Structures are given as C-alpha cells and as structure tokens.
Amino acid sequence: EKMVEEGKEADEKSAAAEKAEIAAIQEYFDEPFPGESFLTQRRQMRGEQESIGNAYLEVMRNAKEEVVFWKPIIPAKNIRLVRLDDAVDVTKTVKRNGIDQEVVVSVRERRFVQALGKNIVWFKDFGASRDLNKKTGEWSPLNTLKFEDRANEIIHYINQRDPFSPYGLPRWWSNAPSVIGSRRAEEFNLMFFDSGGIPPMMVIVSGGALAVEAEKALRDHFMATGPNRHAAIVLEAYGTGGDIDKPSNVKIQIERFGSERQSDSFFENYIERCDHRTQRSFRIPSQFLGMSDDFTFATALSSMLVVEAQVFAPERAEFDEHINLKLMPELPNGEKYIYRSKKLSLADAEKQLSGLGLIKTLLPPKTLVEKVGEVVGWPNLTLSDEELDEIGAQRDREFELKTRLSFLRTSNDPGDKKPGDKKKPPVNDKGKPVKKYDFLPGIVSLAADMSEVLQIGFARPEEARAFQALREKVVTLDADSMDQFRTLLVAHLLPAFEHDPNGAHELITQVFEVDHERTRLS
C-alpha cells in the first residue's frame, strides 16, 4: 500500500512537471514577438506565400544563443537570396536506432539580404554553424562576433519550387496567363466606364477629306491605350469635288462595332473561364469562395472532406514539419514535444455525443467532461474535483447494482431464435417469469444511499437523521418506483438472493409492509 501511494505521488509530480514544461513552450506561441500572436504571424506568412511564393520567418536569439523571439518579414519581396557559399563541415545530431548520434556532414550555408532603401541588412540561414556580420555579410566562427553585430536567422518558406532558382513560385503561377488576362479584361471594362460608356467606332468620309489635324487626332485616338480610348472626338472635313460656286457634298458616316455586346460588360465569359482555371490551381471548391449557392449539406460536406484531404491537411503537415524540425528543439524541453496545428472540424456533434454515450462508463469522469466540452464547443467546460469524485462514485454504485441485477435484464439469445418463434420472457429456476426492470438513475442512487446507511447503523444522531431523510424520500415513491427500489435494496444488502430475484423481492416487500403497518398503528 505504501508503494502504491509513493507511485501515485510520483505520477502526480511527473504530471505537474510535464504541465509546467508545456506551459513554458506555450508562452512562446502565445506571443512569439511583443504584441503579436502566432495566429497573426501564420496568416501574414500564408498571404506572402500565396501572393509571391515566398515567406521568411526571422528568428532572434539572446547573447546565450537562446531563441527569444520570431516574426515574419513583411513585405517578403524585399528579401534576396545570396548564392550558396562553399561547403563547410558541420556536426549534426540525428536519431538512429533510438539513439542520438553525432555525424559530420558538408553543408552549403546560405545568406539572405534585405534591401531597405539604401540600407542593407544581412541574415543567415537558420541553424548556421557560424556567425554572420549583419552589416558586412562576412562569416565568422561561432560566438566570436559582438552580440550587436550578429545577424539574425531566417527560415525560408516557399509555395511551389522554381526549377531555375532557389526562390519559390506562387500557387497560381502555372495559370499566370489567365490571371493576367482576367486583370486586363477588368481594366478594359473599367476604362470603358471611365470614358462614358462609348463603344469603339469607325469614321467613314465620303465626297471629301478630313483636315490634317483631324486625321492626326483620329489616328492618335484609335492608337491610344490610355483612359481616353473610348472618348468621342470632333472631326473637321472639306469637300474635294465640285466647283467654286457649288462644292461637293461631304458625308461623314460613323459605324459602331461591338455595340451588340453592350448589354453587359466586355469579356464576361472569358473572365469566368480565367477564374475557373485559377481556382483549379488552388483546388478550392466553389463553396469556399462564395461562388455557389445551390449546394446542400451533403455536397458541402463532401467538398470539405476533399479539400481537407488534398489541400489543408498537407499544408498543415508541411508547416508543422518546419516547426518541429527547426524551432521546437530550440525551445526549453521542446525536443520532448511535437507541435500540431488544429485540423478542420468535420465531425457531427450529434453522432459524437451518441458515441460518447455508448462508452461513458469506460471513461474517467474528467475525460468525459473534457470530450463533451470539445464536441459542443465549450473548451473550458470543467468540474471541481469534488463534483468529479461524486459523479465517479455514483456511477460506480450504479454499475455495481446493475451488474449484480443483470439477471433482471436477461433475454433470449438472438441466435437461438427461430423464424416464427414468439418471444418468451425469462424464467427463474422454478419456472416462474422474471420481471424485467428499467431502473431509473434516481432510484438506483436512492437504493445505494439507503443500503449504505443501513450497513453503517444508527449509533450517532447524524446517522439517524440521514436515515430519516432517505426514508422520507422513499415514502413519496409511486408503486412502480417503490417496487424497483425494494428490489435494488435487497439485492445490494443480501447478495445471496442474486439468483433468486422473486424470493428477494418477496422478502423485501414483506419487510416494508411490516414497517408500514407498524408506522400506521403507532
């Protein structure tokens, strides 16, 4: 017994130490940089990755080479990658056959440079074996530079790898023509609206000629690409036939083309096809983009399952891998734990609660409460230790009583039933039918409390008061509830009657009838 207590105390100390370690690591992710959360940083990095294909996480250390802060570099377009330096021998620790082993490998370490106007700041690759001067970009042996001259480190995230350079490419790069074409079509429509909505036209002059200035203005107008492309112009023409007294008639005819498309903006079908091609690059269903309103719950759930499996889950796994291989080993006791991003919740709460109901007797009360809180969206749902102990004790009593009275719930084996057979009630060893009960939780608890009081006795006043309080509850029961209560009580007090339920029920009924008659006469 002493060894059990010592083991329990050791487990409690170990759990407390583990909780403290996790809390220390959690502090880094709650505020990785003053005034910033890790959630905000991840959103910023994701925006950079999807827009230009690259994101950079700057990691800062103190004078003891301990990681203290990290933050994304915004905008990422100001970062340039320097050509890889010559290989150097670096000692790395890897786990093989369950044992940490040190191996020497040749590594070409990279430098980064950030251009801020005329100022240049140098960075080194995360985990580089040497110090880098952040002002000159020159390498030095580790811990030889002054702390204020040491360059910070960078973790480089890319979206799609460029086969011709170390930079990343955005996800939509394969459909760049569609992205650019859609943008040009939208700009064309915008210019059309800015110029008053006048469609393109052709000017035909008959019986005369345009003035030199008018012809030049007309040519400049149709060759223009600016915002005045659709604007109307004033033309001057003169006749080239007839005589002085009667010049020829000059006729200027304006023919519009493309006017049949003016019921809507230009290139609508083209823009729609471009958007569809770009959407396929991201593999995102239309429901996630607000482009569909004819979906049902089943189709929406199917889309969520597909996009979770093909897009979201792989992206989370790749990001988590960077954190676990690079950042976590640098945090206090971080090598003992694994970082995992929260996944998209696709579970049906009703089905989850039904499942928990089936196994609730197999889970500790604390675990059951936590799981229910997760399902219903109450992550802080908790109960006190006293409440959890009371629930556990009550559940144990109910389970014990139901187990001991399992003979009251017996039924024929479905495998023994033949077609056409009528269901027969179970019988005892005397051939008499056994009554089947559906015990109510309140009755089970009341019978358990009464049996406990009866076993203790009435030596002290508080015990007598407890019995009287329970007795007052018992006398208020209806006939069916009283019947269940008597059966449960005698089964708890007299285990010998477990295999003779009718005898147990008859005995306890007579006892209560005698008690009731005694009370009536008194």
- At 66 the pLDDT is 93
Please state, in angstroms and rounded to a whole number, the distance separating the CA atoms of residues 50 and 16.
Answer: 42
Is 502 inside any structural domain? yes
Residue 142: name the closest of 177, 100, 91, 181 by CA. Answer: 91
Which residues does residue 88 pair with via DSSP β-bridges, in sequence order? 107
**Spacing of C-alpha 2 from chain mean position:** 45
In this structure, the answer to whether residues 165 and 177 fall within a common structural domain is: no
Burial 134-163 (b: 16+ CB within 10 A, else e): beebebeeeeebeeeebbbbbbbbebeeee
Quote the pLDDT of residue 296.
80
DSSP-assigned states of every residue in 452-503: HHHHH-SSSHHHHHHHHHHHHHHTT--HHHHHHHHHHHHHHH-GGGTT-HHH
Among 153, 508, 145, 107, smallest CA distance to 330 is for 153
How confident is the model at residue 306, as a pLDDT? 87
Rounded to whole angstroms, how far apart are CA atoms 520 and 295? 71
Together in a domain, 516 and 409: yes
What's the burial of 435, exposed, middle or buried (CB within 10 Å: 0-12/13-18/19+)? Answer: middle
Q: Mind giving me the DSSP string for 171-210?
A: GGGGGHHHHHHHHHHHHHHHHHHHTTSPPPEEEEEESEEE
Which contiguous run of DSSP H or E holds residue 450?
Answer: helix 441-456
Does 195 lie in the same domain as 135? no
Of 279, 302, 323, the residue that ends a domain is 279
**Is there a single domain that holds both residue 59 and residue 156?**
yes
Q: What ranges in 195-312 are assigned the alpha helix state H?
A: 212-223, 268-282, 297-307
Indicate whether 6 belongs to any domain.
no
Q: CA angle, 98 as apex, 96 and 100 as ends, to 5°?
A: 60
Report the distance separating Cα 105 and Cα 320, nearest Å: 25
**Position 399 in a domain:** no
Do residue 472 and residue 413 come from a single domain? yes
> What pLDDT does residue 446 have?
80
> Within this chain, do residues 134 and 187 fall inside the same structural domain, yes or no?
no
Nearest to 85 by CA among 145, 126, 125: 125
User: In this predicted structure, what is the pLDDT of residue 338?
Assistant: 93
| pLDDT at position 280 | 85
Q: Would residue 375 count as lying in a domain?
A: no
Interatomic CA distance for residues 316 and 310, integer angstroms: 11
Say if residue 412 is in the same domain as residue 502. yes
Tokens representing 504 are 């147990």
Q: Determine the Cα–Cα distance for residues 177 and 204; give it in Å rounded to an integer.
A: 37
Among residues 304, 326, 346, which one ends one of the domains?
Answer: 346
Taking the chain, what is the end-to-end CA distance rounded to the nearest angstrom?
51
- Distance between CA 232 and CA 86 in Å, rounded? 65
Same domain, yes or no, for 142 and 241? no
For strands 99-107 and 111-116, give the pairing.
unpaired
Dist CA 193 CA 419 (whole Å): 80
Question: The domain containing residue 495 runs over which residues?
Answer: 404-521
Do 154 and 57 touch, CB atoms closer than 8 A? yes
Q: What is the pLDDT of residue 303?
A: 84
Q: Is residue 1 situated within a structural domain?
A: no
Task: Give the pLDDT score at 216.
Answer: 76
Task: Note whether residue 285 is domain-resident.
Answer: no
CA of residue 446 relative to chain centroid, distance: 44
203 part of a folded domain: yes
- Answer yes or no: are the C-beta atoms of 126 and 136 closer than 8 Å: no
Query: 3-class secondary structure for 103-167?
Result: EEEEECCCEEEEEECCEEEEEEECCCCCEEECCCCCEECCCCCCHHHECCEEEEEECEECCCCCC
Residues 242 and 295 placed together within one structural domain of the fold: no
Same domain? 408 vs 498: yes
What's at 356, amino acid-wise?
L
Assess whether the previous peptide bond of 75 is cis (omega < 30° from 0): yes
Q: Which amino acid is at 52?
A: I
Beta bridge partners of 80: 113
In a domain, 313, yes or no: yes
In this structure, the answer to whether residues 319 and 442 fall within a common structural domain is no
Evaluated on CA atoms 186, 188, 193, 199, the torsion sign reads negative
Residue by residue, pLDDT tens for the chain (522 residues) are: 555 556 667 777 888 888 999 999 999 999 999 999 999 999 999 999 999 999 999 999 999 999 999 999 999 999 999 999 999 999 888 888 888 888 999 999 999 999 888 889 999 999 999 999 999 999 999 888 999 999 999 999 999 899 899 999 999 888 889 999 999 988 888 877 776 566 666 677 776 676 777 777 776 766 655 555 555 566 666 666 666 667 667 777 777 665 555 566 778 888 888 888 888 888 888 888 877 777 787 788 888 888 888 889 999 999 999 999 999 999 999 999 999 998 877 766 677 777 767 666 667 777 777 777 777 666 666 777 777 777 777 666 666 555 555 544 433 444 444 445 555 554 544 555 545 445 566 777 788 788 777 777 666 777 778 878 888 888 888 877 787 777 777 766 665 455 555 565 566 666 566 555 555 555
Same domain, 37 and 144: yes
343 within 8 A of 364, measured Cβ to Cβ: no
* pTM exceeding the 0.85 threshold for the entire prediction: no
Q: Which of 140, 169, 198 is the last residue of a domain?
A: 169
What's the number of domains the chain is made of? 4
Q: Could you give the CA distance from residue 40 to residue 47 in angstroms, rounded to a whole number? A: 11
What pLDDT, on a 0 to 100 scale, did the predictor assign at position 258?
56
Cβ–Cβ under 8 Å, residues 371 and 356 = yes
